[in-house]
Chain A
Amino acid sequence: MAARKATTKSNVSAEELKGYYRDMLLIRRFEEKAGQLYGMGLIGGFCHLYIGQEAVVVGLEAAAEEGDKRVTSYRDHGHMLACGMDPNGVMAELTGREGGYSKGKGGSMHMFSKEKHFYGGHGIVAAQVPLGAGLAFADKYKDNGRVTFTYFGDGAANQGQVYEAYNMAELWDLPVIFVIENNQYAMGTSTKRSTKSPSYWERGAAYGIPGEEVDGMDVLAVKAAGQKAVAHCRAGKGPYILEIKTYRYRGHSMSDPAKYRTREEVQKMRDERDPIEAVRSMLLTGKHASEDDLKAIDKEIKQIVNASAEFAKESPEPALDELWTDIYADDAAPQNA
Chain B
Amino acid sequence: MATEILMPALSPTMEEGTLAKWLVNEGDTVSSGDIMAEIETDKATMEFEAVDEGTIGKILVPAGTEGVKVNTPIAVLLEEGEDASDIAASAAPAAEAAPAAAAPAAPAATSAAPEAPVSDTSPDYPEGTAMKSQTVREALRDAMAEEMRADENVFLMGEEVAEYQGAYKVSQGLLDEFGAKRVIDTPITEHGFAGIGVGAAFGGLRPIVEFMTWNFAMQAIDQIINSAAKTLYMSGGQMGAPMVFRGPNGAAARVGAQHSQDYAAWYMQVPGLKVVMPYSAADAKGLMKTAIRDNNPVCFLENEILYGRSFDVPDMDDFTIPFGKARIWREGTDVTLVSFGIGMQYALEAAEKLAEDGISAEVIDLRTIRPMDTATIINSVMKTNRCVTVEEGWPQGSVGSYISSVLMQQAFDYLDAPVINCTGKDVPMPYAANLEKHALITTDEVIEAVKQVTYR
A residues contacting B by CB (< 8 A) are 44-46, 93, 96-97, 102-110, 122-126, 155-156, 158-160, 186-189, 193-195, 260, 317-318, 320, 322-324, 327, 334-337
Contacts and interface: CB of A to CB of B under 8 A. Distances in A.
A110 B185 contact: no
8 contacts: A44-B253, A45-B259, A96-B431, A125-B216, A187-B159, A188-B160, A189-B185, A317-B433
Give the contact-size bracket for chain B: 35 or more
B258 A105 contact: no
Given A322-B435, A327-B428, A45 B188 contact: no
A194 B432 contact: no
A193 B255 CA distance: 27
A122 B160 CA distance: 21
Contacts of A334: 426-427
Contacts of B167: 187
B132 interface: no
A318 to B, nearest CB: 5
Given A125-B216, A188-B164, A96 B433 contact: yes
Contacts of B426: 327, 334-337
A334 B191 CA distance: 33
A93 B256 CA distance: 12
Contacts of B192: 160
A160 B189 contact: yes
Name, among B185, B252, B426, the residue most crowded by chain A CB atoms within 10 Å (CB to CB): B426
A96 B258 contact: no
A102 to B, nearest CB: 8
A158 B185 CA distance: 13
Nearest to A93: B431
Contact of B219 (A96, A109, A159, A320): A159
B425 interface: yes
Given A320-B438, A322-B430, A323-B435, A106 B256 contact: yes
A106 B425 CA distance: 17
Given A123-B258, A124-B258, A159-B188, A336 B432 contact: no
Given A159-B219, A260-B164, A334-B426, A44 B254 contact: yes
B215 interface: yes
A110 B257 contact: yes
A193 B438 CA distance: 42
Top-7 shortest CB links A-B: A107-B431, A44-B254, A45-B254, A104-B432, A123-B258, A96-B432, A336-B426
B200 interface: no
Contacts of B188: 125-126, 155-156, 158-159, 186, 194
Given A104-B431, A320-B438, 11 more contacts: A45-B431, A93-B431, A108-B256, A159-B189, A189-B160, A189-B163, A317-B432, A318-B434, A318-B435, A324-B427, A335-B396
Contacts of A46: 255, 259
A67 B201 CA distance: 50
Contacts of B219: 124, 159
Contact of A123 (B256, B430, B433): B256
Nearest to B186: A194
B159 A189 contact: yes
Contacts of A320: 434-435, 438
A160 B188 CA distance: 9
B160 to A, nearest CB: 6
Contacts of B433: 44, 96, 317
Given A110-B257, A189-B185, A327 B427 contact: yes
A124 B159 contact: no
A261 to B, nearest CB: 12
Contacts of A324: 427
B187 interface: yes
A45 B253 contact: yes
Nearest to A103: B432
B395 interface: yes
A146 to B, nearest CB: 26
B164 to A, nearest CB: 4
B259 A123 contact: yes
B160 A323 contact: no
B24 interface: no
A155 B160 CA distance: 12
B35 interface: no
B70 interface: no
A125 B259 CA distance: 11
B215 A124 contact: yes
Nearest to B433: A96
